[in-house]
Structure 1
Amino acid sequence: MNKLLVNTPQNVQIEYNIASLGKRILAYVIDAILRLILLYALLYFADLFPKQDSWMEMGIDSIIYFIVLLYPLILEILLNGQTIGKLIMKIRVVCLDGNRANNFDYFLRWVIGIVEIYLFFGMIALITAIINKNGQRLGDIVANTCLIDLNPKLDLSQTIFADVSETYKIRFPEVYRLSDRDINIVKENFTSALKTNNYDVLLKLTRKLEEIMDVKSDGLGNIDFIQVIIQDHYHFHKDK
Structure 2
Amino acid sequence: MIELQINTTQNVNINFTAASVGERILAYIIDWVIKIAYIVVAFQIVFNLFEWDKAIDEMDGWSQRAIYMSFLLPVMFYSLVFESLLEGQTIGKRIMKIKVVKIDGYQAGIAEYIMRWFLRIVDLNMMSGIVALIVIVTSKKSQRLGDMTAGTSVITLRNNVNINHTILEELEDSYIPTYPNVIKLSDNDARIIKETYVRAKASRDYETLTKLRKKIIEVVEIKDFNDTDIQFIDTILKDYNYYTQGM
What does the per-residue CA deviation read over 1:183-227, in whole Å, with 9 as the maximum and x for residues that have no partner? xxxxxxxxxxx35641343x339xxxxxxxxxxxxx974665999
Q: Answer yes or no: is the 8 Å Cα contact 1:15–1:152 preserved in 2.
A: no
Measure the CA separation in 1 of the matches of 2:156 and 2:5: 10
Which residue number corresponds to residue 204 of structure 1? 170
Equivalenced residue count is 170
* Structure 2 unaligned regions, length at least 5: 172-193, 204-247
Measure the CA separation in 1 of the matches of 2:202 and 2:20: 27
Please report the TM-score for the alignment, with normalisation by the length of structure 2: 0.60
Percent identity of equivalent pairs: 32
* Structure 1 unaligned regions, length at least 5: 154-193, 206-218, 229-240
Which residue number corresponds to residue 3 of structure 1? 4
Measure the CA separation in 2 of the matches of 1:220 and 1:33: 39
Q: Answer yes or no: is the 8 Å Cα contact 2:3–2:15 preserved in 1.
A: no
Q: Answer yes or no: is the 8 Å Cα contact 2:80–2:114 preserved in 1.
A: yes
For the pair 1:134 / 2:141, whether they are aligned, the reply is yes
Q: For residues 195 and 225 of structure 1, do their structure 2 counterparts lie closer, same or farther at Cα, with a shift above 3 Å needed?
A: farther
Match of 2:102 among 82, 90, 95: 95
Whichever of the two has the greater Rg, that structure is: 1
Measure the CA separation in 2 of the matches of 1:93 and 1:2: 15
Q: Answer yes or no: is the 8 Å Cα contact 2:27–2:96 preserved in 1.
A: yes
RMSD: 3.0
Measure the CA separation in 2 of the matches of 1:227 and 1:26: 41
Please report the TM-score for the alignment, with normalisation by the length of structure 1: 0.62
| Letter aligned with residue 133 of structure 1 | K
Q: For residues 57 and 82 of structure 1, do their structure 2 counterparts lie closer, same or farther at Cα, with a shift above 3 Å needed?
A: same
Q: Answer yes or no: is the 8 Å Cα contact 1:6–1:99 preserved in 2.
A: no
What does the per-residue CA deviation read over 1:117-167, in whole Å, with 9 as the maximum and x for residues that have no partner? 1122000000000000111000101111100112355xxxxxxxxxxxxxx
Higher relative contact order (CA 8 A, sep 6+): 1
